[in-house]
């Protein structure tokens, strides 16, 4: 065998070996998500300082967040999953929104 063919054969062997020996890196599933929302009355006026309770339906863990002056709330770094959202404000009926999804940002 000529020297070029021998070197080419060994190169192919090493290339194949490295292809199987190098660990593969796969994308990781997101484990955290967020729920964002705005609380408003039937006329569309925003409701500041309302209390939103987000409860994970699988673990029953809850987080309470308050709306800002624009009626907006956000709950970040939640375990990805399904949540029940309950919104309370004195002088208003309590709103229960079932099955909101905490989804990853990306």
Q: What domains are defined for the chain?
A: 32-102 (2.60.40.10)
pLDDT digits 0-9 by tens, 41-56: 889 999 999 999 999 9
Q: What gap in Å lies between CA 5 and CA 30, rounded to an integer?
A: 48
Q: What gap in Å lies between CA 93 and CA 41, rounded to an integer?
A: 10
What are 83's strand-pairing partners? Answer: 56, 100
Q: What pTM did the predictor assign?
A: 0.66
CB-based contact 79:56 (threshold 8 Å): yes
- CA dihedral defined by 42, 44, 45, 49, rounded to 10 degrees? 70
pLDDT digits 0-9 by tens, 10-40: 544 444 444 455 455 555 556 788 888 899 9
């Amino acid at each position: 065998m000529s020297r070029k063919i021998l070197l080419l054969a060994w190169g192919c062997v090493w290339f194949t070996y490295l292809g199987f020996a190098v660990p593969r890196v796969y994308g990781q599933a997101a484990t955290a998500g967020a729920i964002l929302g705005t609380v408003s009355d039937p006329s569309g006026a925003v409701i500041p300082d309302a209390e939103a309770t987000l409860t994970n339906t699988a673990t029953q863990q809850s987080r309470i967040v308050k709306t800002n002056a624009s009626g907006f709330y956000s709950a970040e770094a939640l375990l990805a999953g399904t949540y029940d959202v309950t919104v309370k404000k004195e002088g208003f009926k309590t709103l229960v929104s079932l099955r909101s999804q905490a989804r990853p940002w990306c």
